[in-house]
Homo-oligomer: A and B are copies of this chain.
Amino acid sequence: MENLFATDKLNDLLPRIKAFVETELYPLETVENLTKPFSKIEKVLNKKRELVKAAGLWGLQHHLTLVEFGQVSEVLAMTPLGHYVFNCQAPDIGNMELMEKHATDQLKHDWLVSLMKGETRSCFAMTEPGFAGSNPINLGTTAVKEGNYYVINGRKWFTTAADGAHFCIVMAITDPDAPPHKRASQILVSTDTEGFKVERNISIMGESGDGWLSHSEVTFTNCCVPLTNLIGTEGAGFQLAQERLGPGRIHHCMRWIGIAERAFDIMCRRAISRDMGDGQRLAEKQFVMGWIAESRAEIDAARLMVLSTAKMIDEEGAAAARNRISSIKFFTAKIMLDVVDRAIQTCGAAGLTDEFLLSFWYRHERAARIYDGADEVHKIALAKSILKKYA
């Protein structure tokens, strides 16, 4: 923990969460659990959720500042399923935040309450196969008003956790003639609506997965939902998506820092325990010492970047922190992936096996440099914003 960002709440909470994670969740990191489809371990995870509730650690994100929750998120991320067990996994956490602020009371009553209890799951359908994800104002999905209904048609993919979700929040064009950033709206669609279909769980890095741990292609075919399922106002889709991204980046980045910390820990343990057969331990090799030192400095730097950004959002709002939010996305993703890679190299062949957690992150987190805006998109956005001041 960085002293700079310590709070009384965290001083109380973090050790308890850390102990819970180590005691209850680390033992679940078996080869079997890490390679099985999600549905096979859901039951055991749901039991752990009960323990979280019993320990008074449920729903933390609703009572903490972003700076505080970021630090919780780091600890949860030290094990692959930490966020799920604490019910603050993406995309549900983002949907909760969105609905708390912008959903009608009726929608909250019907959908948010059970989501917050962990009884249901949700998904968020934005990216489309036909359009570059880096340019979110181009969408093919439409929601046309007919009477009291929106009739939605379109195809989305990389819709995380659609498999088994109870509802989906979809981004669709409601006014194609509006200025580009006012064309889309966010609409809640119950997944049992006729015309909503999970076409397939996309096979990614060798696995199509299932349940919460999957990314689907979904279609909307004349899918009718009441006009009252609109989140926020019509045409506010992009603005809401932007609003989601600020805190969302903090969540992701702190999650990556948690991953990096755990990978760092694995690397150090291996280095100290591995006898090289030449009278030295791996820890005495300069190559390995170099990786450890660089990783330590980089993780510390990334954490300071992310938490200072969280503080900026807490105090001045996401708009004021826009540039810094761009920075942390590409800065932190790179560092996390570099640390994971160094840890693999340190562990040698064993590091490639599913016994070391590292290969799980190597596969599942390469996406960090792509989703929510590829590295390159953020770099361009940041540079343009900086250069505007010089123009």
Q: Which residues of A contact B (CB under 8 A)?
A: 2-4, 31, 34-35, 127, 129, 131-135, 137-138, 157-158, 202-208, 268-269, 271-272, 274-278, 282-283, 285-290, 292-294, 296-298, 300-302, 304-305, 308, 311-312, 315, 323-324, 326-328, 330-331, 344-345, 348-355, 359-360, 362-363, 366-367, 369-371, 374-376, 378-380, 382-384, 386-387, 390-391
Contacts and interface: CB of A to CB of B under 8 A. Distances in A.
Contact of A158 (B203, B304, B324, B349): B349
Nearest to A291: B383
Contacts of A277: 131-132, 135, 137-138
Q: 8 nearest interchain CB pairs?
A: A289-B383, A286-B286, A293-B379, A304-B304, A297-B327, A138-B277, A203-B354, A301-B301
Given A327-B297, A331-B297, A383-B290, A268 B390 contact: yes
Given A271-B387, A387-B292, A287 B376 contact: yes
A269 B390 CA distance: 7
Contacts of A285: 286, 376
9 contacts: A157-B349, A205-B354, A205-B363, A272-B387, A287-B376, A293-B379, A300-B327, A304-B305, A349-B367
B287 A286 contact: yes
Contacts of A157: 349
A261 to B, nearest CB: 12
Contacts of A286: 285-287, 290, 376, 380
A132 B390 contact: no
A371 B349 CA distance: 7
Contacts of A207: 35, 206
A292 to B, nearest CB: 4
Contact of A374 (B202, B289, B348, B375): B348
